[in-house]
């Protein structure tokens, strides 16, 4: 296939204002440059859309340098080396990296080698490419680190996952099941709850959109208390779970997607229960566990091939549709990993 003479990329036009309105980014086209010595041309095959994108479109500080107006939007990609003038990278090689929302990326090879978030990828012939952006990708690694390393889930324990049909939640739930726990999920809508129980084999699911009292609904489904809570949502959901935690329970703080992009943050009222129930709350970032990724990936690939993990992605076609798909993360409209195929 003939290489494009242009690069298309999404640029930040303005920061979001208490929610996305679909105009925060603009699609820019610029000429394809000639590769300089030491540079690599990467063709993006898959672009991951994540809750982190909502943070990066705001003026709030987070774990990476803040993006400025006029900067390219960034995201995790799976790319393929299209051309290389660096000895460590060869044409056809696949890489996972944090890069711009672009169909082509010109990168310095030495910078890629020094970047902890960039790694080469050996694709298993029996595993589809999009599995490596969700089930076996960054969200899978995050779910594994949170559930196994932070949550220290044990066989038979009662585990509750919020956002259980979302990208990280759907993986956290499956990993807990693979570890032998009894797993329950919170999701929005009967269809998502049905998928969690009938397809993924969870022990129960609660439709938070279909109940008037979430705290009472959790108590009914898990009367003996939650021993491990994997929290992707925060806010009112965390408030409803805290009274349902078992003594000495563990809360894995993976994210607070319900609060991203909101000017007024929800104040959790039940935090005193952390003391009376002797709970442990621990947040984590996958950045702290990158040295464990090769071992995690080996385990996840094995579980996938054994049928213990399913690949459930919400796929969008075409870079031009990336911005329109992003609000799905706030509405809960995606089931599994939200990603854009550029092939």
pLDDT tens for 246-273 read 999 999 999 887 776 666 778 889 999 9
Is the domain of 154 the same as that of 185?
yes
DSSP string, 273-285: HHHHTT-EEEE--
Q: For the chain, give the mean pLDDT.
A: 92
Is the domain of 206 the same as that of 272?
yes
pLDDT tens profile 123-144:
999 999 999 998 999 889 999 9
Nearest to 54 by CA among 331, 321, 327: 327
Confidence of residue 109 (pLDDT cuts 50, 70, 90): very high
Is the domain of 164 the same as that of 269?
yes
Does 149 have pLDDT greater than 80? yes
**How confident is the model at residue 2, as a pLDDT?**
66
Q: Is residue 293 part of a domain?
A: no
Q: Is residue 147 part of a domain?
A: yes
Distance between CA atoms of residues 155 and 165, nearest Å: 22
Is the domain of 75 the same as that of 159?
no
Is the domain of 276 the same as that of 160?
yes
As a whole number, mean pLDDT of residues 174-200 equals 95
Is the domain of 31 the same as that of 106?
yes
Judging by beta carbons within 10 Å of its beta carbon (0-12, 13-18, 19+), is residue 181 exposed, middle or buried? buried
Does 228 have pLDDT greater than 90? yes
CATH number at residue 261: 3.40.50.720
Q: Is residue 303 part of a domain?
A: no
Is the domain of 16 the same as that of 37?
yes
**How confident is the model at residue 145, as a pLDDT?**
97
Confidence of residue 52 (pLDDT cuts 50, 70, 90): confident
Is the domain of 266 the same as that of 320?
no
Q: Is residue 296 part of a domain?
A: no
Confidence of residue 304 (pLDDT cuts 50, 70, 90): very high
Q: Is residue 204 part of a domain?
A: yes
As a whole number, mean pLDDT of residues 314-342 equals 88
Quote the domain boundaries for residue 189. 140-287
This prediction's pTM: 0.82
As a whole number, mean pLDDT of residues 9-19 equals 89
For the chain, the farthest-separated pair of C-alpha atoms sits apart, in whole angstroms, at 65
Q: Is residue 294 part of a domain?
A: no
Q: Is residue 1 part of a domain?
A: no
Distance between CA atoms of residues 206 and 193, nearest Å: 7
């Amino acid at each position: 296939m003939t290489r494009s003479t242009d690069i298309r990329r999404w640029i930040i036009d303005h920061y979001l204002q208490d929610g996305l309105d679909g105009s925060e980014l603009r699609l820019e086209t610029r000429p394809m440059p000639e590769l300089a010595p030491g540079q690599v041309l990467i063709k993006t095959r898959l672009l991951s859309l994540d809750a982190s994108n909502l943070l990066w479109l705001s003026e709030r500080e987070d774990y990476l340098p803040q993006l400025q107006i006029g900067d390219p939007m960034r995201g995790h990609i799976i790319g393929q080396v299209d051309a290389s003038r660096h000895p460590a990278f060869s044409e056809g090689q696949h890489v996972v990296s944090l890069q711009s929302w672009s169909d082509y990326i010109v990168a310095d090879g030495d910078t890629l080698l020094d970047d902890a978030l960039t790694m080469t990828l050996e694709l298993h012939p029996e595993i589809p490419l999009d599995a490596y952006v969700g089930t076996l990708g960054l969200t899978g690694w995050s779910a594994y680190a949170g559930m196994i390393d932070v949550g220290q889930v044990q066989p038979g324990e009662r585990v509750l996952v919020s956002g259980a049909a979302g990208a990280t939640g759907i993986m956290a739930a499956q990993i807990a099941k693979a570890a032998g726990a009894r797993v329950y999920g919170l999701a929005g809508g009967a269809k998502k709850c049905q998928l969690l129980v009938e397809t993924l084999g969870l022990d129960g699911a609660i439709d938070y959109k279909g109940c008037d009292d979430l705290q009472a609904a959790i108590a009914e489904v898990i009367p003996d208390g939650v021993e491990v809570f994997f929290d992707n949502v925060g806010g009112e959901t965390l408030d409803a779970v805290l009274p349902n935690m078992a003594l000495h329970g563990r809360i894995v703080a993976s994210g607070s997607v319900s609060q991203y992009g909101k000017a007024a943050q929800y104040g959790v009222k039940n935090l005193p229960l952390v003391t009376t129930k002797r709970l442990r709350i621990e947040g984590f970032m996958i950045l702290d566990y990158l040295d464990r990724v090769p071992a995690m990936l080996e385990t996840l690939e094995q579980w996938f091939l054994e049928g213990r993990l399913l690949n459930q992605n919400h796929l969008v076609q075409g870079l031009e549709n990336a911005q329109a798909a992003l609000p799905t993360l706030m509405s809960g409209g995606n089931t599994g990993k939200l990603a854009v195929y550029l092939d």
